[in-house]
């Protein structure tokens, strides 16, 4: 039964608090008894030893409570770390897909410029694609390619 009582941080801390209160009580009674002359030095030393023994138990119990708290915190932390790693992987995939779409859009703009026989548009689209290919995944990929996509290719008569 005692083992069951000390299986959570709260129950261990409550037991430690009770031991600490008992140690405080023993210390107060020993000092009051010595001051009043009710007990001798040997009895006082024996009671102080008992108080210190209880305080040692209090320290052990608080240490056990801390262990329980840390163990309980490690499980959610591990789950959180895993979720963060998964989210980072998904973000990286999304960035790659985004860049691929931007490159595709730039190719469409280039193709439209070529079909329209727009030399300047083709050069601009090619430069935008080159810039896009060199850009980091973290940067907004190709503003130039998007800008080109908004402009209609010039028709040659």
Taking only the tens place, the pLDDT of each residue in 63-115 is 988 888 888 777 677 788 888 899 899 898 898 888 888 888 889 989 998 99
- What per-residue confidence (pLDDT) applies to 5? 65
Mean pLDDT, range 13-20, rounded to an integer: 92
**Domain presence at residue 19:** yes
Q: Is 80 exceeded by the pLDDT of residue 136?
A: no
**Domain presence at residue 26:** yes
- What per-residue confidence (pLDDT) applies to 80? 81
Domain tally, the chain: 1
- What per-residue confidence (pLDDT) applies to 81? 85
* Other CB atoms within 10 A of residue 24 CB: 13
Q: Is 30 in contact with 47 (CB distance < 8 Å)?
A: yes
Give dist(CA 78, CA 86) in Å, integer: 12
- What per-residue confidence (pLDDT) applies to 141? 44
- What per-residue confidence (pLDDT) applies to 138? 44
**Domain presence at residue 104:** yes
Give dist(CA 151, CA 38) in Å, integer: 102
**Domain of 123, in residue numbers:** 8-150
**Domain presence at residue 80:** yes
8 pLDDT tier (thresholds 50, 70, 90): confident
- What per-residue confidence (pLDDT) applies to 137? 46
- What per-residue confidence (pLDDT) applies to 3? 52
**Domain presence at residue 157:** no
The full length of the chain comes to 157
> Which DSSP symbol is given to 8?
S
Give dist(CA 54, CA 68) in Å, integer: 21
**Domain presence at residue 21:** yes
Average pLDDT, the chain: 82
Q: Is 60 exceeded by the pLDDT of residue 58?
A: yes
**Domain presence at residue 156:** no
**Domain presence at residue 58:** yes
């Amino acid at each position: 039964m005692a083992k069951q009582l000390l299986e959570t941080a709260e129950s261990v801390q409550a037991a430690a608090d009770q031991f600490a209160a008992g140690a405080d009580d023993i210390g107060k009674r020993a000092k009051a008894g010595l001051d009043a002359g009710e007990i001798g030095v040997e009895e006082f030393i024996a009671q102080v030893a008992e108080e210190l023994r209880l305080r040692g138990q209090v320290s052990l119990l608080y240490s056990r409570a801390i262990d329980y708290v840390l163990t309980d915190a490690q499980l959610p932390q591990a789950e959180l770390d895993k979720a963060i790693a998964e989210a980072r992987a998904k973000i990286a995939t999304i960035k790659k897909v985004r860049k691929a779409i931007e490159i595709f859009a730039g190719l469409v703009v280039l193709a439209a410029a070529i079909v329209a026989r727009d030399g300047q548009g083709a050069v601009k689209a090619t430069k935008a694609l080159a810039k896009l290919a060199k850009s980091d995944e973290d940067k907004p990929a190709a503003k130039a390619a998007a800008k080109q996509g908004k402009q209609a290719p010039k028709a040659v008569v």
